[in-house]
Structure 1
Amino acid sequence: MYDYAIMWEWMAFAARWLHVITAIAWIGSSFYFIALDLGLNRNIPGPADGEEWQVHGGGFYHMQKYLVAPPQMPEHLTWFKWESYWTWLSGFALLMILYWAGAELYLIDPDKADLATWQAILISLAFIVGGWIAYDALCKSPLKERPTAVMLVLFAGIVASSWALNHIFTGRAALLHLGAMTATIMTANVAHIIIPNQRIVVADLKAGRTPDPKYGKIAKLRSTHNNYLTLPVVFLMLSNHYPLAFGTENAWIIASLVFLIGVSIRHFFNTMHARGSAPWWTWGVTAVLFVILAWLSTAPLRTATVEAAPLSGAALRYAEAEHFDAVSSIVMGRCSMCHAHEPAWEGMLWAPKGVVLDTPEAVAREARRIYLQAGVSHAMPPANLSFMTEDERATLRAWFEGAS
C-alpha cells in the first residue's frame, strides 16, 4: 500500500509537470497571436488585412494576416490546437488524481456539505461540464451581438459559481474547480468553435467557394474571451499553494475579484499591443483590487472547525494503528511549532499551506502527507530545523505502512 502511495505521488507530479508545460505552450502562443493581431500594420495595399515585421533569434520574420483566407491554400498549414487540448487533458488527469481519488482530504468539507465521495465527484463534474454548456448558450443567445453584455453576464455566472463552490467543497477545491470550469470553457472554445470554424473556411477555399467571414468573426470573439480568462485561471490553479487565498470565508469574493484583475491587466497589454495610448490607470485599478484581496484574506481560517469534525474512514484507521501515540508525539513536537492554528515560529502568522498538525486528530488526517514529506523524504521539517531523527522518521514510516 505504501508503494502505491509513492507511485500515486509521482503520477500526480508527472501530470502536473505535463500540465505546466502544455499550459506554457498554449498561453504563450495565445498571447503571442493576440499581440500580433493587434499590432499589425493595416495601412498597406494588397489583399492582406495587415502585416508585421519582427526580429528574433538572429532572423527576420515577415507575417501577413488574411481576414478570411488567402487567395490560394498553402501546401503547409499549421494548426494551433494540441497545446490547448493537452493542457485540459493533463489538468483533468491531475484533478482526478488529487481531488477525486483524494476526495476525503482535498475535496469534501463535512462542515459545508456531508457528501459521499461519489456525490462530490458528480458535483465536481457537473460544474465543469455545466459551465461550458451555460457559457456556450450565452454566446449563442440574442446577446451575442453585444459583447460587453455577454462579458457582464459571464462575470455574474462566475461570481455565482464561486459562491456555490465555496459552500460545497473545501476552499482549496472550490477555487481549483472555478479555474477548471473556466479552463474547460477555454478549451471547448478551441475544440468546438475556433477550430471547426477555421476548418469550414479551409474547406470552402479548397472547393473554390468564397468563405463566409462570419466564421472568422465568431472564432475571433471566442479567442478574445480566452485571452481575458487566461490570467484568472492561472491564479486559481496556483491558489492551492496559498491558504490566504482559499482558506478564508471570503474565498469566493477573492476568486471573483481575480477575474476583474485579469481583465484590467489584459486591457492594458491589449491596448498597448494595438499601438494605442497605454491605459496606465489599469495598474491603479489592479493595485487597489489586490489590496482588497489581501484585506479579505485576513478572515479567520476554516481549519479550526474542520479539525473538530469526528474522524472517519482512512483517518480513523491511521488513528487506531500501531505507533500512533508515538507518531503524534513526534509530529506535534517537531512540526506543530509551524503547523498550528497559532504558529509559535517567529514571524509566521498561519500554518504553511493551511496544514495544521497540533492535535492527534489532525495528525491522523494528514497521515499520507506526513509519510511522504517527513517519512520517505526529508522535505519536512525544512532544513530539519527541529532536529527530527532518523529513528523518528522510521517510526513515521512504520506507522503509515502498517496501517496501509
Structure 2
Amino acid sequence: MPEYAIFYEWAMFAVRWLHVVTAIAWIGSSFYFIALDLGLRKTPSLPPLAHGEEWQVHGGGFYHIQKYLVAPEFLPEHLTWFKWESYATWLSGAMLLVLLYYVGADLFLVDRNVFDVPSWVAILISAGSIVLGWLLYDTLCKSPIGQSTTGLMLVLFAILVAMSWGYTQLFTGRAALLHMGAFTATIMTANVAMIIIPNQKIVVADLKAGRVPDAKYGKIAKQRSLHNNYLTLPVIFFMLSSHYPLAFATQWNWIIASLIFLVGVVIRHYFNTRHARKGNPHWTWLAATVLMLIIAWLSTSPKLPGVDTPSLASATGERFMATEHFAAASLAVQTRCAMCHTAEPVYEGVYEAPKNVILDNDVAIANQAHQIAIQAGWSHAMPPGNVTEMTAAERALLVEWYREGTGS
C-alpha cells in the first residue's frame, strides 16, 4: 500500500536520525577519553594508586581529573558507565541494515550480475560475515599475536583487505562498503559489550569484596578501547559512502575501502600523538593527503567506469513492469530523469549518475519504483528544482503506477 511506502520512508528516516545522534555521543566520548588518557600527567600531589591527572577548563569552570590505572582504594558511591552510547549506535545501525538492505535485498543487497543468489541466502551471508568478523578479531587479540601491537595490526589489516574484496564479490558495491562499516562497527561494539564493560565489572566486584583487582583487566580493556579509537574514522567513511558512487561503484572499490583504514590510522595517530604531548607529526597529513589522492585516482582509473545497467529485473521490478501504466510511467521517467540518471549523463555539470541510480531503461526504472514514487511522485525532490519541468499529471501518473504495482 502507498501508506506503507510512506511509513517505511519515515521509519528509515527516524532510525537514521537515531543512529546519527547515538553515533555522535559514542564517538565523542571515545575521542574524549582517549585524549584524556594520553594527556594524563604524574605529579607529586597524586593520591596513592593514582596513575595521573589533568586539569581542564570548559563551560566556565575547571575540572580536576585523576585516573587510577587499576582501581582506587575504595569504591565511590556513584559510577558513570559509558556503554549505552555504543549499544544504541550498533542497535540503530542494525535496524537500518535490516530496513534498507534486508527488506530491500533484491535491489540494494543482491546484484545478480555479481552473485546470483536468493535474497534470503544473501541476508544469511551478510549476518554471518558480521559475526565472523568479531570472532576472528577476538581470537587474534587473545592469541600470542595479540601481545604484539604491530603484528596484530598487520594481521587485522590483511583480514580487512580480504573482507573488502570478498564483499565486492558477493553484494552490490553500495552494500559491500556499507558492510565493511557494519563489520568494523560490530567489532567496536562487541569490544565494549564483551570485553571492556565485563572487565570493569570484575574490578568493581573485587573492590566491593575487599580484594585487590588484577591489573590485567584494565590493560586488556585499554587495548580494545584504543583499537576502537583507530577504527572510528573508517567506519564513518563507510557509513557515508552510499552517497558517493565514486567510492562504491568503481572497479577498485575494495582497494579504496582498504586504503581508507590507513587514512584513518594516520589521522588518529596525529591527534593521539599531540594529546600525548609527544610531538607534532605533520607527516601524517601528507600521508593522508597522498592516500586520498590515490583513492581519487583509483576511482577513475584506468577510465571512469560506466555505471552498470541492470540486465535483470528484481522480483519487485517484474511486478511493476506488468502494470497497466508502466509504459507511460517509464516514458515520463526517461523524459524527465534519464538525462542525469544514465551511464553517461548529458545534463551540464553532472558527470555520473547521482547515487549510481540508472533510469534510462525499463528494467532499471521498474527496479527503482519505490524511490521514484517517493522522490518524484509524493514529493517534489526530483527532478531537483524541477529543472526538467515534470508536470503534476506526470507525478500523479507515477503514484498511480506505484499503487498498481503494490496492488492497492
User: What is the TM-score with the length of structure 2 in the denominator?
Assistant: 0.97
Deviation readout 1:171-192 (Å, 9 max, x if unpaired): 0000001110100000000000
After alignment, is 353-362 or 292-301 more displaced? 292-301
Give the drift of 1:269: 0.2
Query: For residues 63 and 387 of structure 2, what CA distance do their matches in structure 1 show?
Result: 54
Give the drift of 1:314: 1.1
**Residue ranges of structure 1 left out of the alignment (5+ in a row):** none
Aligned to 2:22: 22
For residue 350 of structure 2, the aligned residue among 323, 331, 348 is 348
* 1:3-402 correspondence runs (5 A): 3-46=3-46, 47=48, 48-299=50-301, 300-301=304-305, 303-304=307-308, 306-307=309-310, 309-402=311-404
Deviation readout 1:265-300 (Å, 9 max, x if unpaired): 000000001111111000000000000000111144
Q: Secondary structure of the equivalent of 1:61?
A: strand
Query: For residues 310 and 269 of structure 1, what CA distance do their matches in structure 2 show?
Result: 48
Deviation readout 1:36-85 (Å, 9 max, x if unpaired): 11011223343221111111111111111111111111000000000000
Q: Secondary structure of the equivalent of 1:375?
A: helix
Query: For residues 215 and 268 of structure 1, what CA distance do their matches in structure 2 show?
Result: 27
The answer on whether the counterparts of 1:143 and 1:149 sit within 8 Å (CA) in structure 2 is yes
The answer on whether the counterparts of 1:249 and 1:302 sit within 8 Å (CA) in structure 2 is no
Query: For residues 385 and 257 of structure 1, what CA distance do their matches in structure 2 show?
Result: 38
Query: For residues 39 and 368 of structure 1, what CA distance do their matches in structure 2 show?
Result: 51
The residue identity in structure 2 corresponding to 1:2 is P
Change (3 A) 1:161 1:223: same
The residue identity in structure 2 corresponding to 1:79 is W
Change (3 A) 1:329 1:273: same
Give the drift of 1:142: 1.1
Query: For residues 301 and 112 of structure 1, what CA distance do their matches in structure 2 show?
Result: 16
Change (3 A) 1:302 1:163: farther
The answer on whether the counterparts of 1:38 and 1:270 sit within 8 Å (CA) in structure 2 is yes
The answer on whether the counterparts of 1:231 and 1:262 sit within 8 Å (CA) in structure 2 is yes
The answer on whether the counterparts of 1:247 and 1:302 sit within 8 Å (CA) in structure 2 is no
Give the drift of 1:311: 2.2
Query: For residues 22 and 357 of structure 1, what CA distance do their matches in structure 2 show?
Result: 35
Query: For residues 301 and 322 of structure 1, what CA distance do their matches in structure 2 show?
Result: 35
The answer on whether the counterparts of 2:16 and 2:96 sit within 8 Å (CA) in structure 1 is yes
Q: Secondary structure of the equivalent of 1:202?
A: helix
- For the aligned residue pairs, the C-alpha RMSD in angstroms reads 1.0
User: What is the TM-score with the length of structure 1 in the denominator?
Assistant: 0.98
Q: Secondary structure of the equivalent of 1:174?
A: helix
The residue identity in structure 1 corresponding to 2:307 is T
Q: Secondary structure of the equivalent of 1:383?
A: helix
Give the drift of 1:310: 2.7
